[in-house]
Amino acid sequence: MHPAFSIIFFTTASGLGYGLAAMLGLGVLDPASLSTGIAYLLALGLIGAGLLSSTLHLGNPQRAWRALTQWRSSWLSREGVMAILTFIPLVVSAWAALFERSYLPLPGVIGAVLCAITVYCTAMIYASLKSVQAWGTRLTPVCYLLFAAAGGATLATFFALCGAGAVRSMAFAAIVLIAAAWIAKLRWRDRLLAMEPLSTPESATGLGSIGKVALLERPHVTENYLTREMGFRIARKHAAKLARLAFGLGGIVPVLLLVAILVAGQGAISIVAAILAVLSFGCGILVERWLFFAEARHAVMNFYGQ
Amino acid sequence: MTSLPSLPTPKKLGLVIDLDVCVGCHACVVNCKEWNTGGYGSALSDQHPYGADVSGAWLNRIHTFEVKPEGGEIVAEAGEARIVHFPKSCLHCEDAPCVTVCPTGASYKRAEDGIVLVDEEKCIGCGLCAWACPYGAREMDLAAGVMKKCTLCIDRIYNETFEEVDRIPACVRTCPANARHFGDLADPNSAVSIMVAERGGIDLMPEQGTRPVNKYLPPRPRKPLSAIASMLHEAEDTADAKGFFAWLDGMLDRL
């Protein structure tokens, strides 16, 4: 599948934003601190930027509001509806944190739950597509949810260091969540690598009863929408390397930095370590999302000899 | 509504494509583009049509496959490739995944005849329906930013200003080899249903659970070369020539 940058950026940014918003909603940071208010602004900014970016790949973005109508059948529509609903408790909580310096448990918890549901809907857009076998597993939403939570906890550790809370417990939670996310993700990728293709050129053409089917000629000599959209292969060539890079940047580096914070506690060095952990995690997730698309094979490619 | 019709549609209009007959001439592809660029919805645009990297939206494409038999009955047939031309367009699936994923309600399946259509006024061009389709039946029109797909020539088949003979999809009307047939696959007595029953019509990718309406008729089994050989006269054998030709044959032999 073609990894559209707008979609990769959207899932990464909104994942981090919803993760942080969920942590804030659970009240893990001290509402009396200004940094909690800034954390709210960052969460809303990441979510907003992600949602805006997701409209960039649309052919007719001016009609994007129509995407809110088909929540009965479409996960993409559900995602849109949930994203807007989630804004309500998040804005209320952010207001309370910024201007009242208080934590409101009810909007907080509702916001955290809605954040999780929105991320789940995003993942289900992919997991519900039978035509892309690599995505069709319960592990897909598990990975999306755990990565969002892990990113949120890492960001929350940074804000805890800025004076808003219990640094060590936050850093410990982030380590646990990053580890859990990567355990799920590695199982997801093992499944991908071990997978027997559901559809083959034989089943796609129905000619398997005669023999082995191979493409002789494409419909047109040049690329088309389908081969560009479903047949992207650049990253697949370097898949193993990129997978290691994603694991290193998104898993090992932030965990080591978080362990250092756990040991060092409060302090300037810890703040630098937290910033590096967030940046490294973000880059790792960008690579992970790139691979999520680039490594997934679409059934239509059985007609194109790929 | 992007939910599928709750009951089976009373009519299941679709195509039956005969892989034994298709010669891969691409006439259906060209006529499809010609008809649909001026018909339903926005035109089917091309990008860089006179440049090096030509590309555009097509609703019907022909692939050509080579099928290698795994073990034949006579010498030289085993491992000998067989060429099959393979037209592919929307299969108007009964369980169409492209319809249910649509976030806007632009993509829908008609309850009356089962045709899957896109309402281009509602389409935001997100491309998710093209991802959901395992057959590659949908292509984005990059100029209009909306999804294009086979309409089964809905603007022909119900068009009463046309002669009866022309009220069929453009691809079917134009096929010079008669490899494409249009009809109601819900009616067991329709010509297309009888054809499917007699020839063992098949679904593409049944494992995807889409239940396509369009059926493909597999190529007929090939006659072994040895069976045909006995039917061929040897070019030199003139024993059964009669009359003038017998005389001419004799005279020429003597020269």
* Architecture in CATH for domain B13-224: 2-Layer Sandwich (3.30)
- The percent of residues above 90 in pLDDT, for chain A, comes to 81
Could you tell me the domains of chain A? 5-303 (1.20.1630.10)
Q: Which of A70, A132, A226 sits opposite B102 (nearest CB)?
A: A70
pLDDT confidence band for B255 (50 / 70 / 90): confident
Q: Which residues of chain B neighbour A61 with C-beta distances below 8 Å?
A: 124
| Cβ-based neighbours of A90, under 8 Å, separated by 6 or more | A21, A25, A40, A43, A44, A47, A111, A115
Query: What value does the mean pLDDT of chain B take?
Result: 90
Of all residues in chain A, the one with the smallest CA distance to B125 is A59
The pLDDT of residue B207 is above 90 = yes
Q: What is the pLDDT of residues B120-148, one digit of tens each?
A: 999 999 999 999 999 999 999 999 999 99
Q: What is the pLDDT of residues A238-272, one digit of tens each?
A: 889 999 999 999 999 999 999 999 998 888 999 99
For residue A9, the distance in angstroms to the closest alpha carbon of chain B comes to 16
For residue B20, the distance in angstroms to the closest alpha carbon of chain A comes to 11
Write down the pLDDT at residue A235.
67
Of all residues in chain B, the one with the smallest CA distance to A224 is B55
Write down the pLDDT at residue A121.
97
Q: What pairing do the DSSP bridges indicate for beta strands B13-18 and B215-217?
A: parallel
Q: What is the mean pLDDT of residues A109-132?
A: 97
The pLDDT of residue B233 is above 70 = no
Q: Which long-range contacts (CB under 8 A, 24 or more apart) does A217-224 make?
A: A217/B63, A217/B64, A218/A304, A218/A305, A218/B63, A219/B29, A219/B58, A219/B61, A219/B62, A219/B63, A219/B88, A220/B54, A220/B58, A220/B61, A222/B53, A222/B54, A222/B55, A223/B53, A223/B55, A224/B55, A224/B56, A224/B58, A224/B61, A224/B139
The pLDDT of residue A293 is above 90 = yes
List the 64-83 stretch of A: residues with Cβ below 8 A of B.
64, 66-70, 72-77, 80
The pLDDT of residue B235 is above 80 = no
The pLDDT of residue A89 is above 70 = yes
The pLDDT of residue B79 is above 60 = no
Q: In this complex, do A225 and B139 lie within 8 Å of one another by their Cβ atoms? A: yes
Q: What is the pLDDT of residues B101-114, one digit of tens each?
A: 999 999 999 999 99
Q: What is the pLDDT of residues B182-204, one digit of tens each?
A: 999 999 999 999 999 999 999 99
Q: Which of B3, B19, B219 sits opposite A73 (nearest CB)?
A: B3
Write down the pLDDT at residue A4.
85
Q: Is residue B178 within 8 angstroms of chain A, CB to CB? A: no
* Domain spans in chain B, listed from the N-terminal domain onward: 13-224
Q: Which of B1, B65, B145 sits opposite A216 (nearest CB)?
A: B65
ipTM at complex level: 0.92
The pLDDT of residue B75 is above 60 = no
Write down the pLDDT at residue B224.
63
